[in-house]
Structure 1
Amino acid sequence: MTMEHNRESAQNDETSVIYFAGGCFWGMEKLMQSIPGVIQTTVGYANGNSSVIPDYKTVSSGKTGYRETVRVEYDSRKVSLDALLFSYFRVIDPTLENRQGNDRGTQYQTGIYYVDDSSKETVMRIAEIERERNPVFNVEIGPLTSFYDAEEYHQKYLDKNPGGYCHIGAAEFKEATEMIIDPGKYPRPKKETLAEMLDETAFRVTQHADTEPAFQNAFWDRHEKGVYVDVVTGEPLFTSSDKYQSSCGWPAFSKSIDDNTIVSREDTSFGMRRTEVKSRSGNSHLGHVFSGDPESPSGMRYCINSASLRFIPYADMEKEGYGYLKSRV
Structure 2
Amino acid sequence: MTTKNLQIATVGGGCFWCTEAVFQEVKGVENVVSGYSGGSVPGRPTYREICSGLTGHAEVVQITFDANVISYEDILVIFMTTHDPTTLNRQGADRGTQYRSVIYYNDDKQKEVAEIVVKELGVYYEDLIVTEISKAQIFYEAEKEHQDYYKNNQAQGYCSFVITPKLMKLRKLHADKLKSA
Same-fold call, TM cutoff 0.5 = yes
1:157 corresponding residue in structure 2? 149
SS at match of 1:179: helix
* Matches of 2:94 and 2:138, distance apart in 1: 23
1:306 corresponding residue in structure 2? none
Q: Is the 8 A contact 1:30 1:173 kept in 2?
A: no
Long gaps (5+) in structure 2: none
* Matches of 1:137 and 1:90, distance apart in 2: 11
User: Aligned-residue CA RMSD in angstroms?
Assistant: 2.0
Per-residue deviation at 1:173? 4.1
Superposed counterparts of 1:28-177, under 5 Å: 28-134=19-125, 135-164=127-156, 165-166=158-159, 167-168=162-163, 169=165, 170-175=167-172
Q: Is the 8 A contact 1:34 1:176 kept in 2?
A: no
Alpha-carbon distance change, 80 to 93 in structure 1, aligned in 2, over 3 angstroms? same
Alpha-carbon distance change, 180 to 69 in structure 1, aligned in 2, over 3 angstroms? closer
Number of corresponding residues: 170
The structure with more helix, counted as a fraction of residues: 2
- The TM-score with structure 2 as length reference comes to 0.86
- The TM-score with structure 1 as length reference comes to 0.49
AA of the residue aligned to 2:35: G
Query: Which stretch of structure 1 is more off in the superposition, 57-66 or 119-128?
Result: 119-128
Q: Which digits, 9 at most, give the CA deviation of each residue in 1:72-101, with x for residues without a partner?
A: 000011111121111111121121111101
Q: Is the 8 A contact 1:31 1:176 kept in 2?
A: no
Alpha-carbon distance change, 95 to 173 in structure 1, aligned in 2, over 3 angstroms? closer
Superposed counterparts of 1:1-329, under 5 Å: 14-134=5-125, 135-164=127-156, 165-166=158-159, 167-168=162-163, 169=165, 170-175=167-172, 178-179=175-176
Per-residue deviation at 1:122? 1.2
Of structures 1 and 2, the one with the larger relative CO (CA 8 A, separation 6+) is: 2
AA of the residue aligned to 2:118: A
Q: Which digits, 9 at most, give the CA deviation of each residue in 1:30-74, with x for residues without a partner?
A: 101111110000000011014243110000001111000000000
Per-residue deviation at 1:144? 0.8
Long gaps (5+) in structure 1: 1-11, 182-329
- Runs of 4 or more, structure 1, over 4 Å off, are none
Per-residue deviation at 1:102? 1.4
* Matches of 1:40 and 1:101, distance apart in 2: 26
Q: Which digits, 9 at most, give the CA deviation of each residue in 1:6-26, with x for residues without a partner?
A: xxxxxx971111111001100
Q: Is the 8 A contact 2:82 2:170 kept in 1?
A: no
* Matches of 1:83 and 1:30, distance apart in 2: 17
Q: Is the 8 A contact 1:29 1:41 kept in 2?
A: yes
Per-residue deviation at 1:180? 5.2
AA of the residue aligned to 1:94: P
Alpha-carbon distance change, 161 to 125 in structure 1, aligned in 2, over 3 angstroms? same
